Chains A and B, each alone.
Chain A
Amino acid sequence: MIQTRALNAEAARADFPILGRRVNGKPLIYLDSAATSQKPAVVIDTMDDYYRRYNANPHRGVYAISEEATAAYESARQRVATFINAASPKEVIFTRNTTEAINLVRYSWGRANIRPGARILLTEMEHHSNLVPWQLLAQEVQATLSFLRIDDDGLLELEQLDRQLEGVQLLAITHQSNTLGTINPIKAVAEAAHRAGALVLVDGAQTVPHMPVDVQDLGVDFYAFSGHKMCGPTGIGVLWARRSLLESMPPFRGGGDMIKRVRLNEATWNDLPWKFEAGTPSVAEGIGLGAAVDYLTQFGMDRVRSHEQTLVDYALEKLQEVPGITLYGPRDSELHGGAISFTLANIHPHDLATLVDREGIAVRAGHHCTQPLMDRLGVAATTRASFYIYNRVDEIDQLVSGIQKAQKVFA
């Protein structure tokens, strides 16, 4: 049983060893959790403990430490399943990251199902990892891509959704834009897609770490996310999909662990979820993700979300007072997750990021793997500040004063 705990950023900070660090002589102010989150000691220690005490190849040994490794790895899967309310841990496929989860669907479901001339519907705000795999699949099977547009507040234009869904076999859509912060109305969009006979894949890289996600309630078909953005390690991600779909899909990679019986010229496939997990898995990382899920669960994801919403409200208010700033994404924090993009007149995002780094502030500058979105916004790059449980409002004040200092340099 996981003890619940109030979410207090100051107390949470003590759990993250890196936040005690100084950068350029200043305390680290980490505002790039949308790229990757920091890791609490409990996650680092859990992985360390695996390597020190029971490192063994899971699923293969009958000896004690292999059984311990198997049990810990499968227990992590169970906890991830509970975290996103999957109907069964068999629906939780461990991958390397969101990108690999999406590519699994492309290669396995996509190749077997997308017909020549069919359409795949995406949005203008997709991360390259939920765009390029579909470009490649479309070229391979002669399908076409089409896109839901965004309005000037960074919200999806959905008036024509039913018409745009005609002939669509797959809708692949992000739950939250990593650049604009926009939270998309997945449940409603998925209902419309299903009425039109399309399946729905959701890129949840920016939502599972930051708000409650219930895959059954959302009513989608595939849901992908990464461990490293949710207090877990790199090298582990998740594809969730409905069991009946996974049962019907051909394997992704061939090799050890994913088979039941192999003869020289043929093989039969293992049960779910292992059918999709060829080779020795990322054991320490999977176990680490389990610890991350426990860590987040003690706060409760609704409280993580409301903490970040407070930060977004505060940041939008403070940033809009900065002269020469352009803010992107929704102004309503109900629709805006914990990532805010902006540009400044006369200061390129890279120059700004370099200058605030002098103050120990880590923000991201660039296209954030959303080049088509940059084209839509008419900019080459933006600066992005993104938040997590360990960020405090005074760090936003520091960011604002860092921006003001940069403006003096460029005045």
Chain B
Amino acid sequence: MSDDLYREQILEHYKNPHHFGELPDADITQEGDNPLCGDVITFYLKLDDGRLGDVRFRGRGCAISQASASMLTDLIVGKPLQQLKTFPTKDLLDELGIQISPARMKCATLSVNTLRVALNGDVPEED
């Protein structure tokens, strides 16, 4: 794990997020926010025969929250929905590849928590 919170890859995702935008024909639109920090993310999910056919997101907030959403879209696009319903937070944190302090954990996990709500309804967050 790198201890550099703002390593190049994260800044790159923040400045040029992947799958950024909206899907006009989305099957699921889900907004998530983190009132403590004011981070906001909206996912647009297009389903395709039991898989996530396509994904876009829009958002506003700190580099960690927005880069993590961008990274998450790369990890989930094309995957079976059954698998995504229980997408492990740890996989996203591994992808971020940095030590997240407790104070910033909410920022790092906003995207995956929003995805979980999108696919399962309002279930309690994973610990």
* A contact residues vs B (CB 8 Å cutoff): 348-351, 354-355, 366-367, 371, 374, 379-381, 409-410
Contacts and interface: CB of A to CB of B under 8 A. Distances in A.
B69 interface: no
Contacts, number: 36
Contact of A374 (B38, B63, B64): B38
A380 B11 contact: no
Nearest to A346: B15
Nearest to A354: B5
Nearest to A379: B38
From A350, A371, A374, A381, residue with most partner B Cβ within 10 Å: A350
A354 B60 CA distance: 18
Given A348-B61, A350-B104, A410-B11, A380 B38 contact: yes
Contacts of B11: 409-410
15 contacts: A348-B63, A350-B62, A351-B6, A351-B62, A354-B104, A355-B5, A355-B6, A367-B36, A379-B38, A380-B37, A380-B39, A380-B60, A380-B61, A381-B38, A410-B11
A381 B37 contact: yes
A375 to B, nearest CB: 10
B37 A350 contact: yes
Contacts of A381: 37-38
B71 interface: no
- What 10 A-B pairs come out closest when comparing CB atoms? A380-B38, A348-B62, A350-B62, A381-B38, A351-B63, A351-B62, A409-B6, A350-B37, A354-B5, A348-B61
Interface in B49-63: 60-63
Contacts of A380: 37-40, 60-61
Interface of B: 5-6, 11, 35-40, 60-64, 104, 107
Contacts of A350: 37, 62, 64, 104, 107
A367 B38 CA distance: 8
Contacts of A409: 6, 11
B46 to A, nearest CB: 28
Contacts of B6: 351, 355, 409
Nearest to B34: A380
Contacts of B61: 348, 380
Nearest to B101: A354
Contacts of B60: 380
A175 to B, nearest CB: 26
A409 B107 CA distance: 19
A381 B61 CA distance: 9
Contacts of A367: 36, 38
A256 to B, nearest CB: 38
Given A409-B11, A410-B11, A351 B64 contact: yes
Nearest to A348: B62
Nearest to A409: B6
A409 B62 CA distance: 14
Nearest to A358: B5
B75 to A, nearest CB: 23
From B11, B37, B38, residue with most partner A Cβ within 10 Å: B38
